[in-house]
Amino acid sequence: MINVGIVGIGFMGMIHYLAYRQVKETRVKAVVSRSPKKRAGDWRGIKGNFGPEGTMMDLGDVDCYESLDQLLDDPQVDLVDVCLPAVLHADASVRAMRAGKHVLCEKPISISIRDAERMVETAQETQRLLMIAQVLPFFPEYDYVRRTAGQGTYGRLWGGSFKRVIADPIRVSEYFDPSVVGGPLIDLHIHDAHFIRLLCGMPERVYSRGRMRGDVVEFATTDFLFGGGHAPLITAAGGVIGQQGRPFNQAFELYFEDATVLYDYFTLDGGAGPSLPLTVLTRDGGILRPGSSSGGPLDAFVAELAEAAAAVENGSPSPLLDGKTARDALLLCYRQTESVRTGRFVEV
């Protein structure tokens, strides 16, 4: 049994808490919150852009701490799950690893490349696992693409495009602050940057066009340029639109030698669902629907946390949660920002 301590009970902390209850290999041993109400189980003020809203929680079998230090002093906690604001990820993760704990940290790995490097270096020095909760590979549609590409089911990947767009998150006052949230590339597009890194490796260069809002990119389209004669041609579009009628949209269209794989999901007018479910167009004219659907709002998180628990149990890192890959995704976002600012190709 892996004993988990969750640091930060906001929306993602709550989602992780609920998901752990479906992972039989884990037990939430402790939570950390500065809020006396949340430590008492009153999570009714928690809301997010998907999934359940907060309610009253029975925390009778959970140790509720006010500070990270109290959690790190708990010898029974094996895994510290960092669900704090991104600007606090690095310090909390480093302290936890130096205290002998394994770490699962919410995405992005950090706000700065320097802090990301510090986290990776600390994991190496302490021989603790640093896992970053980039949940996208655990959604069935993206998992299907990753597995079929790895197995060569449809031949070589020729190229494709990714899309991730949200309505302006006006409820988050610091969303476009580069030192707090980091803006749409760091908070949103990093999902696709990470997945592209997993699927194709690290590109040699990026070329991005877009618009800035202050010091961060508001919206951009990027070409990811890989070396080699058979390199895939990958593009991605992502960012914020001003219209509130479609809060969220994610999609991909990927071209393999023997098939095209399509998917498009959106929220619109109070509803949510795929406008195009996972679909495979085969070379012989067939249309396949593998049946993958994202299911319940917690399913991907349950799979992600089960992967983290298995890594701790086995003492071996998961490539899907690897801290170095998450650092690479953050680096890609900053290189894209540089390309938007300069209008030039940027070496990665």
With 0-12 CB in 10 A as exposed, 13-18 as middle and 19+ as buried, what is 230? exposed
Q: Residue 212 and residue 40: Cα distance in Å, rounded?
A: 42
Asked if residue 183 lies in contact with residue 216, where contact means CB atoms within 8 angstroms, the answer is yes
Q: What is the 3 state secondary structure string of 181-229?
A: CCHHHHHHHHHHHHHHHHHHCCCCEEEEEEEEECCEEEEEEEEEECCCC
In this prediction, residue 294 carries a pLDDT of 56
Closest CA to 195 of 276, 251, 255, 117: 251
Asked if residue 4 lies in contact with residue 61, where contact means CB atoms within 8 angstroms, the answer is no
In this prediction, residue 295 carries a pLDDT of 67
pLDDT band (50, 70, 90) for residue 47: confident
Helical spans, DSSP H, in the chain: 11-20, 36-39, 68-72, 89-98, 113-126, 140-151, 183-184, 190-200, 299-314, 323-342
pLDDT digits (tens, 9 = 90+) for 142-193: 999 999 999 999 999 999 999 999 999 998 889 999 999 999 999 999 999 9
* Residue 325: CB atoms within 10 Å: 18
Q: Residue 318 and residue 307: Cα distance in Å, rounded?
A: 7
Q: How far is CA 38 from CA 50, 286, 300, in A?
A: 20, 53, 25
pLDDT digits (tens, 9 = 90+) for 63-84: 999 999 999 999 999 999 999 9
Backbone phi, then psi, for 278, in 5-degree steps? -50, 120
pLDDT band (50, 70, 90) for residue 135: very high
Residue 348 tokens read as 């990665």
11-14 CB contacts, 8 Å cutoff, 24+ apart:
11/46, 11/47, 11/48, 12/48, 12/83, 12/106, 13/81, 13/83, 14/43, 14/46, 14/54
Domains defined along the chain, listed by start: 2-134 (3.40.50.720), 137-301+329-347 (3.30.360.10)
Helix (H, G, I), strand (E, B) or coil at 253: strand
Q: How far is CA 204 from CA 228, 283, 322, 327, in A?
A: 10, 31, 20, 16
Handedness of CA 113, 117, 118, 120 (dihedral sign): positive
pLDDT at 291 over 80: no
Identify the residue whose tokens are 């991907």: 300
Quick one: average pLDDT of 298-311?
A: 96
Q: Residue 45 and residue 54: Cα distance in Å, rounded?
A: 6
Helix (H, G, I), strand (E, B) or coil at 113: helix
Find the angle CA(17)-CA(22)-CA(26) to the nearest 5 degrees: 70
The number of residues in the chain equals 348
Amino acid identity of 232? P
Higher pLDDT, 52 or 234: 234
**For the chain, first and last CA: distance in Å?**
41
In this prediction, residue 293 carries a pLDDT of 59
- Of the listed ranges 72-81, 170-179, 201-210, 293-302, the least confidently predicted one is 293-302
Q: Residue 168 and residue 153: Cα distance in Å, rounded?
A: 39
Q: How far is CA 312 from CA 2, 14, 65, 103, 197, in A?
A: 8, 21, 23, 9, 24
Quick one: average pLDDT of 229-249?
A: 94
In this prediction, residue 320 carries a pLDDT of 98
